[in-house]
Structure 1
């Protein structure tokens, strides 16, 4: 082997004819979209061609590059292979260095790397595995063994990705585990997070009109539109609860709030499609709270599940349910409001205080209405100051003055359901003995 230069690849097994082009040819480019993608990194053209010929015969979509820098640039530009075959001794950057760079963004269970090299000493193998390679093959290489190992690593990677659809990788990362196989019953961590609950309004009435298979199609059509905006805002879905969603955000509270706004906007877009198709538009309610929680695993020897346990979670769930009482789309607690980086960026108004069952202190609740329709949002912005004065007077038991303010709000924004609810309270005897609403659910 010559230092800094390529290594001669010798593949044993059935003979493969070497073609003139490094890139495999096909008359059906569309077929490639369904193939597993393999990135080959080797500075020897003969090595590349031999590997291309063999892998193309196995129906892999092959992308060859001649050095590590090209490979890293390709990945930075968004190319995502299912597996990488990586030479070790190359000019400009060794395979070890390339592997280390890739592992900064892609762990071993997400992107398998198989090193192919003439360096076959024990310490060479150890170094390759230490920097993050999944496998290490010394030349000469058996064609059948190479194909078998590729299939095994892709299958294991896909199996891990499939697990990720049931146990989010973010959940595993928060537990400081490399993969699902490292998780043990009772693993837990305490951390401050924002919790988002959402639910479809009147789902029971909707589902009663549908057959079971139609219910599943409807729920999946809805959830598949909500999931991306949660992920785009640095959250992950902890669990689906029928038509409901529980999502966690380990970053800033702004991530959860922006996800809630995006969910409302996405549902408006979806409703346009539903109306054109002759279906009823949907309404959702969202509750967000921020606080310390315990995240971990519970269960028994043969069956365990990931979960979060905290009063903060319970409050988020109850805020979501409270959106039904006030007929609003999104409510946040004062805990979440206090952790927003710049609350003035959002359209927020104080709604009420709620006393969670079993707790002595009331929690301030705010409506976030950035996701409302333009006309609705405009009406609330135009009356925000008068509305909050009215709510303050109401809680001071100045009901006559509060009544006048709520009437002022409704003259400008007659569709404001929260103002209507408060106005009704001021007209009843119960209104004169108001205490913070206790959420008993």
Structure 2
């Protein structure tokens, strides 16, 4: 049978086994009369505080009810960094799992080893760290039977944060362990928050500097990019322009103009991303995108955008608005991709005659009454020409 101990004022009083419950009850009555003569004070120490002040959540996992009671009495008025304690009680490993699932943000688990099973506490550690993937909550093992779980073996094989024998754990030692565990939990929370903030920052940076651009420069993240970094890649450059935008925008407020452009691009941009391209830049009502390798994906993305435009215009028609038209051009060749500007303000861009030709070619859509023009260079880089239909334009620089 197991034995427990009472911790108070630096004394460790060993409790009888569970075979002698009557003796335990009598003993506890004497301890209470001696140390806690005011019953109201005892109730205030153990009853939950009704204010909304933030608290440290500590889960006591032990099948000895006396351990729960004495722990709460001894540390009912404990505060760390202006936060008091909210104690939760579980009397088995199974109950502990349930409470962990129901209560978020538990800072510390005070864990017995031998409960419904000889290794119930150790099984709970495995569950918490490996199944629940909880690496934040601190775990202090308090055992009255160190022979069942030797300290050196447990501290190496199980992801716990401290190991205490109940018979040696004075109030002062317990206080120190408590503060260290809560401080550790607080620091881990701050690290997790910093990681989350950094992740959000990296996600936000991807919206301004495409991750594909960072990859093409052979960098892992934006912090590694320096002014002048560049590479040369065989690239298909896509230019897209909104037709008659000036006429449309004249009848819109600045806010409505932004809403219109963003709404249209939300229909068009996904086709570029789905085909492995990325937006190099937005130029007012125009878009420049880049594709690497063969030109098949750039052509597919262009055709998909024209199909999506029909859906966009259908919605505009239902709203009583005039339809919108776009022109797209593609040109392919070796392009220099890199950073320009100065140390305090850099931009990523693509520089080449390939880019200039693609921009000029897009304007030919107006003259020819077309929506999509591609150059011979792009046509030559299409691997599966049978997937598309082309016709020659009456100019020597383009094919559609």
Q: TM-score range by the shorter chain?
A: 0.5 to 0.7
Partner of 1:98: none
Match of 1:175 in 2: 217
2:250 & 2:333 partners in 1: Cα distance? 37
2:389 counterpart of 1:347: yes
Aligned to 1:219: 261
**Equivalent position to 1:317, from 359, 375, 397:** 359
2:399 to 366, 369, 385: 366
Partner Cα distance (2:159, 2:218) in 1: 33
How far apart are 1:51 and its partner, in Å? 8.3
Report if the CA contact (8 A) 1:18-1:53 is conserved: no
Match of 2:196 in 1: 154
Contact 2:128 2:134 in 1 (8 A): no
Counterparts in 2 of 1:329 and 1:49: CA distance versus 1, 3 Å: farther
Contact 1:18–1:49 (CA<8 Å) still a contact in 2?
no
Aligned pairs for 1:9-408 within 5 A? 14-17=56-59, 50=100, 53-55=103-105, 117=159, 142-354=184-396, 363=397, 365-367=398-400
What is the RMSD computed on CA atoms of the aligned residues?
Answer: 3.3
Shift in CA distance, 338/117, structure 1 to aligned 2, threshold 3 Å: farther
What CA distance in whole angstroms lies between the structure 2 residues aligned with 1:141 and 1:352?
A: 76
**Per-residue deviation, residues 356-387 of structure 1 (Å, max 9, x unmatched):** xxxxxxx3x111xxxxxxxxxxxxxxxxxxxx
RCO comparison, higher one (Cα < 8 Å, 6+): 2
Cα distance in 2 between the residues matched to 1:274 and 1:180: 39
C-alpha offsets along residues 174-215 of structure 1, whole Å, 9 cap, x if unaligned?
A: 101111100000000000011100011111111111111111
Distance in 2, Cα, partners of 1:67 & 1:304 = 46
- Cα distance change on mapping 1:348 and 1:263 into 2, 3 Å: same
Give the Cα–Cα distance (whole angstroms) in 1 for the partners of residues 365 and 389 of structure 2. 16
* SS at structure 1 position matched to 2:255: helix
Determine the C-alpha separation between the residues in 1 that align with 2:128 and 2:370.
Answer: 57
Query: 1:235–1:247: 8 Å Cα contact kept in structure 2?
Result: yes
For 1:281, what is the secondary structure of its paired residue? Answer: coil
CA distance in 2, matches of 1:317, 1:210: 27
Higher mean alpha-carbon deviation, 48-57 vs 230-239, is at 48-57
Q: Contact conserved, 2:328 with 2:373, CA < 8 A, in 1?
A: yes
User: Shift of the alpha carbon at 1:220?
Assistant: 0.9
Gaps of 5+ in 1: 1-12, 20-43, 58-64, 72-83, 88-115, 121-137, 355-362, 368-441
Distance (whole Å) between structure 2 residues aligned to residue 85 and residue 169 of structure 1: 30
- Taking structure 1 as the reference length, the TM-score comes to 0.53
Aligned partners of 1:235 and 1:249 also within 8 Å: yes
Unaligned runs of 5+ in 2: 1-54, 62-92, 108-125, 137-157, 163-179
Post-superposition CA distance 1:288-337 (Å, at most 9, x none): 01110000000012111001001111111112111111010100111111
In 2 relative to 1, CA 139–318 (structure 1 residues): closer, same or farther, beyond 3 Å? Answer: farther
The whole-number CA distance in structure 2 between the counterparts of 1:139 and 1:17 is 13
C-alpha separation in 2, matches of 1:338 and 1:293: 17
d(CA) in 2 for partners of 1:292 and 1:169? 20
Distance 1:196 1:325 in 2: 19
Change in 2 beyond 3 A, CA 1:280/1:85: farther
Question: Which residue in 2 is equivalent to 1:123?
Answer: none
Paired positions, count: 258
CA contact under 8 A between 1:233 and 1:256: conserved in structure 2?
Answer: yes
Who wins on radius of gyration, i.e. which is larger? 2
- The residue number in structure 1 matching 2:110 is none
